[in-house]
Amino acid sequence: MESKKNFKFDKRAESYDDGFEGKVSQKFYDLVIKNVVVSNEMNVLDVGCGTGTILYRLKEMYSFNGYGIDVEEKMLEQARLKCPDMDIRLCSCDDTPFNEDQFDIIIACMAYHHFPDKDSFSRETARILKKGGILYIADPKLPLPIRKVLNRALDIHKINGRIFTSNEVADNFSNFGFECVFDKSDVYAQIICLKKI
């Protein structure tokens, strides 16, 4: 299988939050903050945490044990500055150092479409999420014609990335022991809430 290029964010890490990408991501962050429900002392993991914005914003509202992972070291440096009391690590989404059944909540915001192996991520999420735990995936929502053109362009340029509908995401995770609790959208952003059964 031919390898594909990954998006790289390290060069933009220090200016990411105030730049175009950070501003576009705000719609997704807001959707997550509005829909994620955290109880005290829960273990919460943000996969593809970037600069730590979601963990930081959730910590303003809840008391929990925060964890973040990403593959971009410079982005993680920013996350550690924002969230100094949290466990922020460099690792991939499909091979984490965490224990089985460790997390109550896992979040992947503006990250799922970048993951090169969706099944491996689903399998790892099923391993580290507690039974009854909740997974939230916030990702772009695009009309069918635009989604097809974009996905084709990513394939042609051999770039990791693919935009999915909420039904496609839910169907994939159903193969790994998850059921869809809800999906919501706000213009070009969607959030899918899945429960490990």
Exposed e or buried b per residue across 28-56, where buried means at least 16 C-beta atoms within 10 angstroms of its C-beta: bbebbbeebebeeebbbbbbbbbbbbbbb
pLDDT in tens, 121-140: 999 999 999 999 999 999 99
Strands 65-70, 103-109: parallel, antiparallel or unpaired by DSSP?
unpaired
What mean pLDDT, rounded, does the chain reach? Answer: 89
Helix or strand run (H / E) with residue 35: helix 20-35
Task: Please report whether residue 45 resides in a domain.
Answer: yes
In this prediction, residue 116 has a pLDDT band, given cuts at 50, 70 and 90, of confident
Residue 78 pLDDT > 60 = yes
Higher local confidence (pLDDT), 152 or 9? 152
Residue 1 domain flag: no
What is the extent of the structural domain holding 107? 10-196
Please give the span between the terminal C-alpha atoms of the chain, in angstroms, as a whole number: 33
pLDDT at residue 171 tops 90 = yes
CATH code of 47's domain = 3.40.50.150
**Assigned domain for 16 exists:** yes
pLDDT at 1: 41
Say yes or no to pLDDT of 155 above 90: no
Let me know if residue 80 belongs to a domain. yes
Does 157 score more than 80 pLDDT? no
Q: CA 46, CA 52: separation in Å to the nearest integer?
A: 8
14 pLDDT above the threshold of 70: no
Does residue 48 belong to any structural domain of this protein?
Answer: yes
Q: Is residue 64 part of a domain?
A: yes
Task: Give yes or no for residue 2 having a pLDDT over 50.
Answer: no
More confident residue, 176 or 15: 176
Is residue 177 over pLDDT 60? yes
Determine if the pTM surpasses 0.85: yes
How many separate domains does the chain show? 1
d(CA 118, CA 120): 6
CB-based burial label for 6 (10 Å; 0-12, 13-18, 19+) = middle
The answer as to whether 3 is a domain residue is no
| Helix spans in 36-140 (H) | 53-59, 73-82, 118-128
Assigned domain for 174 exists: yes
Output 125 or 10, whichever has higher pLDDT.
125
Question: How does pLDDT run across 23-69, given as a tens digit for each residue?
Answer: 667 889 999 999 999 999 999 999 999 999 999 999 999 999 999 99
